[in-house]
Amino acid sequence: MRFQTTRELLDKTRQFHIEASEYLRRLSQAKDQKRVMMLLDYLARHEQKLAENVEHFEEDARPSLLNAWFDEAPEISLEEALESLKLHDGLDMEDVIRLGMHLGDYLIWAFEYLAEQAESEEVRDAFTNLAGMAQADKRILVRDSNMLQDF
């Protein structure tokens, strides 16, 4: 953890989603199970959309929000998020769902931590909102994954 601005943290969040999308696409290409491949493709597209959402959020944010400093900010990296997740080569639907949930949980943790550390209400509200959006995305993931399993 080190000093970072909100802008840097949003850039890292966007990069996290881009790297997650690329990672999921690589996993998808290596799979021969149709449903697993479809779910990985869905997650990859979803991560790409989240990266675009973060970019739009940053474009619309006030300079006072973007320039706010954090003394101790998490790194927000895909590598760190995947460290604690034990994946094996033969991923099944449950593994892919667990992966998607884990990525969401990692960002929720980071956003909630940043909201707690924020020195201004504006910054606290922004990261609280980002955590809420990540929680909503997790619920959508569960719903859509269950629909695909039933397909």
One-letter amino acid at 148 equals: L
pLDDT at residue 33, as a whole number: 83
Annotated domain spans of the chain: 2-150
Output the pTM of the full model.
0.91
pLDDT at residue 63, as a whole number: 97
pLDDT at residue 30, as a whole number: 78
Give the C-alpha separation, 145 to 102, whole Å. Answer: 14
10-residue block means of pLDDT along the chain (151 residues)? 92 97 91 86 94 95 96 93 83 90 96 96 97 94 82 65
Give the C-alpha separation, 144 to 43, whole Å. Answer: 10
Half-sphere CA count of 9, side-chain side, radius 13 A:
27
* DSSP assignments along 17-65, one per residue: HHHHHHHHHHHHHT---HHHHHHHHHHHHHHHHHHHHHHHHHHHS-HHH
- Listed residue (69, 31, 62, 59) closest to 51, CA to CA: 59
pLDDT at residue 145, as a whole number: 85
One-letter amino acid at 123 equals: V
Contacts of 80 (CB under 8 A, 6+ apart): 106
- CATH fold of 2-150 reads Ferritin (1.20.1260)
Residue 2 vs residues 8, 31, 72, 98, 110: alpha-carbon distances, Å: 11, 38, 5, 29, 14
pLDDT at residue 1, as a whole number: 64
pLDDT at residue 139, as a whole number: 92
- Classify the C-alpha dihedral 103-42-15-71 as positive or negative: negative
